[in-house]
Structure 1
Amino acid sequence: MPSPAVDDYLKTIYHHTEWQDERITPSQLAAELGLAPSSVTEMVQKLAAHALVAHRPYGPIALTEAGQLRAAAIIRRHRLIETWLVREFGYGWDEVHDEAEVLEHAISDRLLEGIDERLGRPTHDPHGDAIPDASGRVHREPFVLLAAAAPGHSGRVLRVSDRDGALLREIESAGVTVGAAATVRDAATLRIADTDVHLPDGAASAVWLTA
């Protein structure tokens, strides 16, 4: 089923369980994609018929091995492109998502391999998300969401969600960068480089630390 629409479905399902364990439901998938539930139900049935997802009526949706590999391949494209745009073209980390959404369907495998080689085979994108390798494997460290971290917890900033560009800019302006050593004061404050960094509203659900 070669189709950008199929890839968008598989990416969304993949994303949903990257940083938590609950599988996505059809209603959640419809909300994430901004589509009518009836349209999503029809597409999920097609994906199941092609053995890309496993799904029972009204139940959650899971990627099959084939679906996982295909999702990882398109996510690899997306995240390598984001990394390329930041490193080579000076894009901000809040500016790359929409560009990558377009380019991930347009560039050839040869160009993607060239980008990967030029960047030194990066394992993570600018937001801290893991870049799958060519075989679909990823390496993730144990993590904790800031909202669930206890006061006094110390670790590195592992990932900042790219879902909301405006929030990304606020988090960056506050002084938070991926890789920074941080200690949790509370869900709205991190201690970074001997300074209390006060985070914007919503950041506690958008920042992950090493566990």
Structure 2
Amino acid sequence: MASPAADDYLKTVFAHTEWQPTPITPSQLAAKLGIAPSSVTEMVKKLAAAGLVSHVPYGAVRLTDDGTARAIAVIRRHRLIETWLVREFDYGWDEVHDEAEVLEHTISDRLLEGIDARLGRPRFDPHGDAIPNAAGSVEREPFVLLADAPAGHIGRVLRVSDQNPELLRAIEAAGIAVGVEVTVTAAGFSVGGVETEVAHAADVIWLRA
């Protein structure tokens, strides 16, 4: 099962439960990967046979310990590359995901270690997602999705989903970035005392709980 396709599956299963607790279903996995459900079913069977996931028909897909370790290794590569592209090559945070998808499967472990060292062992990528260290440990602060936070809650932006580049650009234009303090209001949220409105932003921004 040493293949980029298998790595993409494992990475997607892992990332699905980083910021919410419900495990991923095969149909959700198919939607996230842009692959036909029948293809997902076949690959999940192969991953299960290799001991990387556990799955029962029509049930959720969960990583085994071996699957988790491998997913974390791929996630580390992806997020370090994204951070490298932003810091060293002036990529925007809305531009790095697709580049990292390609590079994560091609660079050597030696180059990855060099990138990590050059960047000063960063703990988070440009979107606020935790970068696992070389031992596989992941550090994450208590969080709440902006859409679920009560009015009056004040918290730093911990993470912004990178799945929609257009929405990322709109969020950036509104002055929102990782580390910025946001106040939840009855009407939505404000930044620096200024009421801010970006459609669907509350569904892709996580604050410190």
TM normalised by structure 2 equals: 0.97
Counterparts in 2 of 1:70-81, with a 5 A limit?
70-81=70-81
Can you list the C-alpha shifts for 1:70-110, whole angstroms capped at 9, x where unaligned? 00001100000000010111111001001111111110000
Retained in 2: the 8 A contact 1:171–1:199?
no
Number of matched pairs: 209
What residue is the counterpart of 1:82 in the other structure? 82
What residue is the counterpart of 1:209 in the other structure? 207
Retained in 1: the 8 A contact 2:160–2:178?
yes
* 2:199 alignment partner AA: D
Retained in 2: the 8 A contact 1:94–1:166?
yes
What residue is the counterpart of 1:123 in the other structure? 123
What's the offset of the Cα at 1:150? 0.5
- Indicate whether 1:11 and 2:11 are aligned: yes
Q: Gapped runs of 5+ residues in structure 1?
A: none
Can you list the C-alpha shifts for 1:48-86, whole angstroms capped at 9, x where unaligned? 000000111111010001000100001100000000010
What residue is the counterpart of 2:107 in the other structure? 107
**Aligned Cα RMSD in Å?**
1.0
What's the offset of the Cα at 1:197? 4.1
Can you list the C-alpha shifts for 1:93-132, whole angstroms capped at 9, x where unaligned? 0010011111111100000000000000000000000001
What residue is the counterpart of 2:33 in the other structure? 33
- Indicate whether 1:52 and 2:52 are aligned: yes
Counterparts in 2 of 1:159-170, with a 5 A limit?
159-170=159-170
Give aligned-pair identity as a percent.
68
What's the offset of the Cα at 1:189? 2.2
Can you list the C-alpha shifts for 1:118-171, whole angstroms capped at 9, x where unaligned? 000000000000001112110111100000000100111110110000000000
Q: Gapped runs of 5+ residues in structure 2?
A: none
TM normalised by structure 1 equals: 0.96
